[in-house]
């Protein structure tokens, strides 16, 4: 008989793996609620047109899509932002602004599986809609960094690299890039951290830039930091206003406690087509893994899905790379099974009482388990240990006759006699 295997790139979550996922999601939810975000969710299946032309070429090429029985072209959601935009657009006039929402959906992309990238993953999305002030941009990034801190990842472990597409567009225009060439230029420079400079130069020329313009584009990235950019390109039309905006962004994040975790990086572009302003990605300091998180401002997406124009900013943080980083830094939680009580019945006569006590303990908020069949006391204690019981509660003929149960703390072996009246 052959064994059915799971699909490539998809995961089975056995209890230990699910405990880790829950640990991560608990930190996500706690950070979001501390910052005043409300939780929402949407359907895993959406109309195909919600993504084509809005999510960027890479994501569109990775869609799980098909024609359903009603003849509709549909796709499993590869990201959450288009669904969020659709949902907010449907009720835009009734929602209190700014909208502060978060969700933790499972997403699907048909791509080559590799370290840190599967064909499904869970992702934490945090978004603020209806607010254009730079404080909203800083707030969403601070929320993500606070969640990482809850998981034990601080400035010594991670760095948030940020940029602004408005700043980059201003610089690219100064270098000679036309408006019709911006998208392909973004796509090329987005790979600067992953490909040799010569290959990027070739990509720029292949996209239609003259060799001298391609050289001017690459020269932009020699200036490291906002002050060097200001020194070299100060006076370029529109540039000073963009630099001031990023200065304010840095101040906000420093005030929020993350000054040591952030760094300006002109090569941060983000591949998605809908970003319009600040963009950022969070990496491990060692630079060994893919980005843990990415996001930015997307002020025109609601209008693109039929809603009113509304400023918006947000991010997505996946569980796959984050779990790898937590494992490497030895920050994963213990996943041994745990229950509060294991109830031992010495003979069959105590089994009715065993069930009644289990019911009362559970009603009081405790976890309680017991063996379903008659077993030796030794066998039951082994089961209690395997289940990670904090305490065993022993019901024997003598104890029941005396109206008590013997409670043992498993870690220390300390025992006490507790009246059955208290347990019932």
Span 153-176, average pLDDT: 95
Residue 177: enclosing H or E segment and its boundaries? Answer: none
- pLDDT, one tens digit per residue, over 246-284 is 999 999 999 999 999 999 999 998 876 788 999 999 999
pLDDT at res. 130: 95
pLDDT at res. 119: 93
Q: Tell me how far the alpha carbon of residue 424 is from its chain's centroid.
A: 44
Span 151-164, average pLDDT: 97
Q: Within a 10 A sphere around the Cβ of 91, how many other Cβ atoms?
A: 10
pLDDT at res. 56: 63
Residues 6+ apart with CB under 8 A from 195: none
pTM of the complete model: 0.87
Rounded to whole angstroms, how far apart are CA atoms 234 and 322?
39
Span 110-130, average pLDDT: 90
What angle, 0 to 180 degrees and rounded to 10, lies between the N-to-C axes of helices 134-150 and 239-255?
Answer: 40
pLDDT at res. 190: 86
pLDDT at res. 94: 93
Set out the domains of the chain in order of their start, with CATH numbers: 15-42+80-328 (3.30.930.10), 339-423 (3.40.50.800)
pLDDT higher than threshold 60 for residue 2: no
Q: What does DSSP assign to residue 305?
A: T
pLDDT at res. 296: 96
| Cβ–Cβ < 8 Å for 203, 191 | yes
| Residues above pLDDT 70, as percent of the chain | 98
| Cβ–Cβ < 8 Å for 16, 328 | no
247 to each of 15, 65, 149, 227, 357, how far by Cα in Å?
A: 46, 42, 24, 10, 63
pLDDT higher than threshold 80 for residue 376: yes
Q: Within a 10 A sphere around the Cβ of 317, how many other Cβ atoms?
A: 24
Rounded to whole angstroms, how far apart are CA atoms 399 and 416?
12
């Amino acid at each position: 008989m052959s064994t059915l295997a799971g699909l490539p790139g998809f995961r089975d979550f056995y209890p230990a793996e699910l405990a880790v996922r829950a640990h991560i999601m608990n930190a996500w939810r706690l950070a979001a609620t501390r910052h005043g975000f409300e939780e929402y969710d949407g359907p895993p299946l959406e109309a195909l047109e919600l993504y084509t032309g809005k999510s960027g070429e890479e994501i569109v090429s990775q869609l799980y899509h098909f024609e359903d029985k009603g003849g509709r072209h549909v796709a499993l959601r590869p990201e959450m932002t288009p669904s969020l935009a659709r949902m907010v657009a449907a009720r835009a006039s009734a929602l209190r602004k700014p909208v502060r929402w978060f969700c933790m959906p499972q997403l699907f992309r048909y791509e080559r599986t590799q370290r840190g990238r599967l064909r499904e993953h869970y992702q934490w999305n945090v978004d603020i809609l209806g607010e254009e002030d730079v404080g909203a941009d800083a707030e969403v990034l601070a929320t993500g960094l606070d969640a990482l801190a809850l998981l034990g990842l601080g400035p010594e472990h991670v760095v948030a690299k940020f940029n602004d597409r408005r700043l980059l567009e201003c610089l690219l225009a100064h270098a000679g890039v036309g408006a019709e060439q911006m998208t392909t230029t973004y796509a090329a420079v987005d790979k600067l951290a992953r490909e040799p400079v010569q290959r990027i130069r070739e990509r720029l020329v292949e996209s239609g830039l003259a060799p001298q313009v391609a050289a001017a584009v690459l020269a932009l990235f020699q200036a490291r930091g906002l002050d060097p950019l200001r020194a070299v390109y100060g006076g370029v039309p529109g540039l000073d206003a963009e630099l001031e905006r990023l200065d304010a962004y840095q101040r906000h994040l420093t005030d929020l406690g993350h000054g040591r975790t952030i760094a300006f990086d002109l090569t941060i572009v983000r591949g998605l087509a809908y970003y319009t302003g600040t963009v950022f990605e969070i990496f491990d300091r060692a630079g060994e893994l893919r980005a843990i998180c990415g996001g930015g401002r997307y002020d025109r997406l609601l209008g693109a899905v039929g809603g009113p124009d509304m400023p918006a900013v947000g991010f997505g943080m996946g569980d796959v790379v984050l779990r790898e980083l937590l494992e490497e830094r030895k920050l994963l939680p213990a996943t041994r099974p745990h229950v509060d009580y294991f109830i031992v019945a010495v003979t069959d006569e105590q089994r009715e009482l065993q069930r009644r006590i289990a019911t009362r303990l559970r009603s009081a908020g405790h976890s309680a388990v017991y063996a379903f069949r008659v077993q030796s006391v030794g066998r039951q204690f082994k089961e209690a240990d395997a289940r990670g019981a904090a305490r065993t509660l022993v019901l024997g003929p003598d104890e029941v006759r005396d109206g008590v149960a013997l409670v043992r703390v498993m870690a220390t072996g300390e025992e006490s006699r507790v009246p059955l009246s208290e347990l019932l």
